Chain A
Amino acid sequence: MTDNILEVRKLFLYYATRKGTVKAVDSVSFDLKKGETLALVGESGCGKSSMAKAVIRLLPRNIDKYDGEVLLEQQNIMEHDETTFRKDVRWKKISMAFQGAMNSLNPVLKVGYQVAEPLLIHEDMKKQEALEKSIESLRMVGIHESFMERYPFELSGGMKQRAVIAMALVTHPRILILDEPTSALDVITQANIMNLLKKLKNEMGLSYIFITHDIGLSSELADKVAVMYAGEVQEIAKAEAFYRKPTHPYSQKLMASVPTLRTDKKPEFIPGAPPSLISPPTGCRFHPRCPSAFDRCSKENPPAFDLGSGHYVKCWWYEQSGEKNE
């Protein structure tokens, strides 16, 4: 229990819009151990990024419901007020590398200065000192210090992503949330970034929350996989168990949709479209698209069943084999 650096319990994040309440994160729970990587996978619009924002409390204006427990090192950070949260949690303990590295750097700041920004803001550091740390951080992600004086548009996509990671690491946080860190990068650069992330994890003992829609990519890094669908976590499992044999029908479908290189198997697709988060389907949210759905699925939303060794799944098919969790 104590080796959990982050525990999220029944986290809710609803947005209020003109059309109604968007249930972007609906009662999500998971744990993250020190040095562990949790891969958060799911389709676009399933609430992955909202989850990350809920954890780091970067909320838009139109919040309808923001509730639950986020325990960071056994401390409920949901009880912090905004100032404490900003000072003690964000970037100190939890950093985030945003998706779309192309736009994640201030175009009018030089890269070196930009990477030093969190230090200047958080630690009242002198500019000179902060810039030295920034050189260090950039070197860690493999950017030569001659790029300190460059502007973001002079950098390639991969370099920008590295700079974004450097910026996230400059304050030496415990947890790094990576929100689709490799989207819009070519495959080679993607591989480079993934190798870099692995290296950093080993060197610094970081915990990652790795958000991606690329289930193949997540296997590179993940110790644990959480599958999100329509604002809910449908399945959490150890990586080996998950990739060998996903249990939730949605996870199975998702795995089957990954193209494989060495077999002739054609990638499958999941029929239908992701549900609206304003009025999600009754019962299990996946049942309208689920090939193995039965009556109960459309009426009652299943709880998470414990399949043992940290494997939880939200599906009625596992009611017998697993124990109901909570």
Chain B
Amino acid sequence: MGSVGGEYRLKGIAKELLTYKSGVFGIAFLVVLISLSVYTIIAIPYGGAIDLWRGEGNVWIENPRNAQPYWVNYFGPNLPETIKRDSHQTGAGTVKVLIPIPQTNLKMLRIGFSFDYVYDAFPSEINIFFSARFNESAPFLRIYWTKPGSTEIKLLDYITRTANDNFYLSIHPQVAANIDSYIAGIVGEKPLAPLPVEQALFAVEDQTIKSTTTAKPLKGTYKLVIDGTLFGEDSDLDARVVIYGRICGLAGTDHLRRDLTIALLWGTPIALSFGLTASLTISLLQLLIATVSGYYGGKIDSLIQRFTEGYMILPFLPFLILIATFYRLDIWILLTVIIVLSVFGGGVKSTRALVMQIKEYPYIEAARAYGASSKRIVLLYIIPKILPPIVPSLIGSVPGYVFLEAALSLLGLGDPYLPSWGKVIEDSYRGGALYKGYYYWVTEPALMLILTAFAFSFLGFALDKIVNPKLREI
């Protein structure tokens, strides 16, 4: 006794699931997704993730824009990593000398950075971040650049504006002008379309430097020297130079330097909870409505059925767009709206047909005979009987809602703050990712969506075979 019924319980079903290949794949994918979600929620708490995604406090400033994931280098290209040097940490190619000049309150400063550049592509950007301490006059700086086996190029005379000054070297017009005239000195004429600063600083110095199509990066040891004059007894200045690469992190970055890992990770619990909640709620509500409609019949049935028919005619997407446009929707309100718009759907019709069939079974009549109340009959006799065929379709419809969320995001109707997969796709679409060749930007969230779809579809197929034995192949 007791163990006999075991094979019909959850454990038995799980065991049977594993006898199907699709079941194994479905469960494996789902386990991956769920562990990812759990890890994400623990490792990057919700509030933190939102702050990170909104870039609070310039957390991403040292990330390159639109960098590919680091592992693309394993497949051939030798793309530059981001090189960072900080004068706080001297040694290993970083030198800082600060000498007071006697009988004055002036100080002489020299900061030297040297680094090896061994990559086949140009960096994407160069920034220098100053942090200075001064009283009246800001430090006066002169910045030099030395290519391997070449002379020093003076880039700029610069007076820091504030104590923490971000100097965007690669877009500074004066630097660009200085470099242009330097290149003109090498090739003998002013190039028509001069190289961007970060390319010119790393390019081989021959005729190829004339244009971006021919320029090649020069490998070797580079030097960046900052000479300065500081005013005041306790004045000081430190510099941090960041030479942005073209690869970053496990998933790459987007146009706002944000690490896509955040969005891909956080997208998982969002997608799972969104899809499951939508699918579960809609299926169960439809089940309940259909059962009430089918079991009680008469006027209630007519009312529900006519209402459903009316509902089914309403165009779902335009309504959703309308609502989302007029009211700023976060993802959970969006979910509610989707549920409300789908409750009286086709599921009500098909389930009602099932209920109508079942309610004529003798065991229902017997139950009425021995005095079971309508509620008891509905909950204990009818719903358990129609649940099995509904469960696989419930599981199978989860990806549909995940895709819907992504599609709505792509239409700009998603939650603007939440890092979801749909949001990443939207960003990439607006950022012209495919046009510019940032394929990783689109494929990564798309792959996550596909993984989710696989997980639930496989699980749905396997469950379908278990609860509808007629579908089993011999």
Contact = CB atoms under 8 A, between A and B. Distances in A.
Interface in B1-45: 1-2, 4-5, 8
A54 to B, nearest CB: 13
Interface residues of A, number: 33
B366 A98 contact: yes
A98 B2 contact: no
Nearest to A150: B4
A149 B4 contact: yes
Contact of A122 (B2, B370, B385): B370
Contact of A150 (B5, B362, B368): B5
Contacts of A249: none
A99 B365 contact: no
Nearest to B4: A149
A39 to B, nearest CB: 21
Given A151-B8, A164-B366, A106 B371 contact: no
B381 to A, nearest CB: 5
Interface string A58-99: 100100000000000000000000000011001100011011
B370 A98 contact: no
Nearest to A96: B369
Interface string A283-304: 0000000000000000000000
B339 to A, nearest CB: 27
A156 to B, nearest CB: 16
Contacts of A167: 366, 370
Contact of B370 (A61, A103, A109, A117): A117
Given A58-B365, A103-B362, A87 B1 contact: no
B363 A104 contact: yes
Interface string B348-373: 00000000000001110111111111
B47 interface: no
B367 A106 contact: yes
Contact of B369 (A90, A106, A149, A151): A90
B298 A121 contact: no
A294 B24 CA distance: 78
Contacts of B437: none
Interface in A137-157: 145-146, 148-151
B354 to A, nearest CB: 14
Nearest to B372: A121
Report whether over half of chain B's contact residues are helix, strand or loop; otherwise say mixed.
Answer: helix
B1 A95 contact: no
A110 interface: yes
A122 B376 CA distance: 13
Interface in A191-241: none
A98 B371 contact: no
A100 interface: yes
B384 interface: yes
Contacts of B369: 56, 58, 90-91, 95-96, 98
Contacts of B366: 96, 98, 104-105, 164, 167
Interface in B370-387: 370-373, 376, 380-381, 384-385
A118 B371 contact: yes
A103 B367 CA distance: 12
B297 A90 contact: no
Interface in B71-104: none
Given A87-B371, A103-B363, A121-B372, A108 B385 contact: yes
Contacts of B8: 151
- Interface centre among A103, A108, A167, by most chain B C-beta atoms within 10 angstroms, is A108
B459 to A, nearest CB: 22
A310 interface: no
Contacts of B367: 106, 117
A98 B365 CA distance: 9
A267 interface: no
A106 B370 contact: no
B358 to A, nearest CB: 10
B368 to A, nearest CB: 6
B372 A61 contact: no
Contacts of A20: none
Contact of B5 (A86, A105, A151): A151
Interface of A: 56, 58, 61, 86-87, 90-91, 95-96, 98-100, 103-110, 117-118, 121-122, 145-146, 148-151, 164, 167, 171
Given A98-B362, A106-B385, A117-B367, 11 more contacts: A56-B369, A90-B369, A98-B365, A98-B369, A104-B366, A106-B380, A107-B385, A117-B372, A121-B370, A149-B1, A150-B5
Closest 9 CB pairs of A and B: A108-B384, A118-B370, A104-B362, A103-B362, A91-B370, A86-B371, A98-B362, A149-B4, A106-B363
